[in-house]
Amino acid sequence: MYTQLEQRGMPEPPVNVGTLRNMKEAGEKIACLTAYDASFAVLVDAAGTDLVLVGDSLGMVIQGHDTTVPVTVNDIIYHCRSVARGLRRAFLVADMPFMSYTEPGLALDNAVRLMQEGGAMMVKLEGGEGQIEIVEHLARHDIPVCAHLGLKPQSVHKIGGFKVQGREPDKAAEMIATARRLQDAGADVVLLECVPNEVGKAVTAQLSVPVIGIGAGPDVDGQILVLYDVLGITRGRTPRFVRNFQAEHPTPLEALRAYVKAVKDREYPAPEHCFS
């Protein structure tokens, strides 16, 4: 009965939360990318990406906004559905957009929509101490959750810009403690954005769940980048952690394969992509 779910005609079974945990334990780096449509989802999957995120970054790279704040649940569902059709092996995660998880009941309703209508296998929310109750509520209903810490782009207007987080010792200690509490609340994955290498390393060492980084240094369990940054088609100034793999390769598929290989071989991120 479960054969199709496990194999889908692939030589390797699709990635699930257990696969991600095993990769952490085995020390195999987890290669992750964002995607927003079916055509790129096929390429990202064929390149060997383990986890694909339909990020609310779509507000910036697809819709042309300056921030992720205008993105809605319906936007994520539309793109997630398209991406789901293109994937075979990769694990599909959908972002919960701005203000879609302010109360446990609202968060559960929206997470259910992202899974049932969008085809997501996990939801990601930007979390701190204030979201522990939400993570607990989702986990109690067996919704797989990724908690996003560090730079939280949905809070850009409160923070006053896209800035590295956790540079001061007290802020770093607070972030490490919050990551532990989010794991204890039921988070299955933690994502760290724009933090010094030392914070990425400490959080990864202290958690049993996989830690995925974007600008979080080389010592996290996996790396994620925005697809359009990897392909060099993002407008404007790119952050320090971005590497344009397309610049070195003739086709998008080869560029994506090179990204996955660089993550697996620990060649990306290099010191010039890190904050310390």
Which CB sits closer to ligand KIV, 8 or 55? 55
Phi, psi of 126 (to 5 degrees): -80, 115
CA distance 4 to 257: 26
Instruction: Using alpha carbons, list the distances in angstroms from residue 85 to 49, 80, 187, 239.
Output: 16, 9, 26, 30
Report the nearest approach of ligand KIV to the CB of residue 34 (Å): 4
Report the nearest approach of ligand KIV to the CB of residue 157 (Å): 16
Phi, psi of 70 (to 5 degrees): -75, -5
Report the nearest approach of ligand KIV to the CB of residue 10 (Å): 26
Which CB sits closer to ligand KIV, 55 or 200? 55
Which CB sits closer to ligand KIV, 7 or 58? 58
Sign of the dihedral defined by the CA atoms of residues 86, 90, 91, 97, in that order: negative
Do residues 111 and 119 touch, judged by C-beta distance below 8 A? no
- Two tokens at 57? 């970054």
Counting Cα atoms < 13 Å in the Cβ hemisphere of 132 gives 12
Report the nearest approach of ligand KIV to the CB of residue 191 (Å): 6
Report the nearest approach of ligand KIV to the CB of residue 137 (Å): 21
Which CB sits closer to ligand KIV, 123 or 262? 123
Active site residues: 193
Residue 143 DSSP class = -
Instruction: Using alpha carbons, list the distances in angstroms from residue 191 to 216, 221, 235.
Output: 9, 10, 24
C-alpha closest to that of 122 among 157, 154, 90: 90
Q: For binding to ligand KIV (CB under 6 A), which residues are involved?
A: 34, 53, 55-57, 95, 191, 193, 214, 224, 226
Partnered with residue 189 across adjacent β-strands are: 146
Do residues 222 and 29 touch, judged by C-beta distance below 8 A? yes
Which CB sits closer to ligand KIV, 16 or 67? 67
Which CB sits closer to ligand KIV, 57 or 197? 57
Report the nearest approach of ligand KIV to the CB of residue 1 (Å): 35
